Amino acid sequence: MARKTINDLFVHCLSDIYSAEKQLAKALSTLARSSSNEQLSAAFQAHLEETQGQIERIDQVVEKCGLRLKRIKCVAMEELVEEAREIIDEIEAGPVRDAALVGAAQKVEHYEIVAYGTLYALGKQLGFDEGVQLLKETLEEEKSTDEKLTAFAEEQGNVEAKSAG
């Protein structure tokens, strides 16, 4: 898709994160099942529910801003999900895998934080006021999830991984 205008860029970025969220929704249940820590597994499951709400929010942005998404695949998310699959395949279930899964999940969160931050800035410039508020809500959720993952890693996950060997 040619991105000749800021509006084109906004639609492309929104289409890309929509694809990313859909891919993540499919991957989160696998992460939840692959974690040996009940708290981490529950966090992945909770983030799945949050991600489904974020997909619905993108649909609302599209409707409120009178846009039409493009059918594209987010290659970045595809690679991040593949990296998580490799962790599951290569690291035995337990605290070390859990620590690696937290790291993989944080990479995803950082990608999403950048994506939603960009969309927020572009949408604000374009005057998509209602859509911008929805994007800001999602941006704040992504930041919160990243903070929760950091807290889990520092207070529990990495401690358990270190003790495991």
Q: What pTM was computed for the model?
A: 0.91
- In sequence order, the 6+-apart residues with CB closer than 8 A to the CB of 141 are 50, 54
pLDDT in tens, 120-134: 999 999 999 989 999
Smallest CA-to-CA distance from 11 within 60, 69, 59 is with 69
Q: Considering the chain, what percentage of its residues have pLDDT values greater than 90?
A: 80
Mean pLDDT score, 55-62: 96
Smallest CA-to-CA distance from 31 within 81, 95, 75, 70 is with 81
Does the pLDDT value for residue 1 go beyond 60? no
Does the pLDDT value for residue 91 go beyond 60? yes
Q: Considering the chain, what percentage of its residues have pLDDT values greater than 70?
A: 92
| CATH, domain range 6-164 | 1.20.1260.10
Domain ranges of the chain: 6-164
